[in-house]
Amino acid sequence: ALAAKSGLPTLEQLPAELRQSLPSLPINVFSYSPIPAERFVMIDMVKYVPGQMIKDRLELKQILEDGIVVSYDGQQFKIKRQ
């Protein structure tokens, strides 16, 4: 129901061929704060904040309480927090 509300598909809802073309994105650390400037994630042991490119291929758009929003190849989607 969350995806419907935000209008964003989750990683699991993407077409298989798009999912297979993505680099692996293991989220090692997920730090959500009510203060946007304090939010960050670590993916493959590299720290990212919104606006940065992940592995030079995806743009990290937002860090939400329950996951991150990324843009890849013109498609925005959400990766749920594990």
Q: The domain 2-80: what is its CATH number?
A: 2.30.30
**Can you tell me whether residue 32 is helix, strand or coil?**
coil
Q: What average pLDDT score do residues 65-81 get?
A: 95
pLDDT of residue 5: 53
User: 79 is written with which tokens?
Assistant: 């990766």
Domain ranges of the chain: 2-80
What's the pTM?
Answer: 0.87
pLDDT per residue over 4-48, tens digit each? 455 899 999 999 999 999 999 999 999 999 999 999 999 999 999
Report the amino acid identity of residue 47. K
Max distance between CA atoms of the chain, in angstroms, equals 36
pLDDT at position 41: 98
Buried b (16+ CB within 10 A) or exposed e, 19-42: eeebeebebeebebeeeeeebbbe
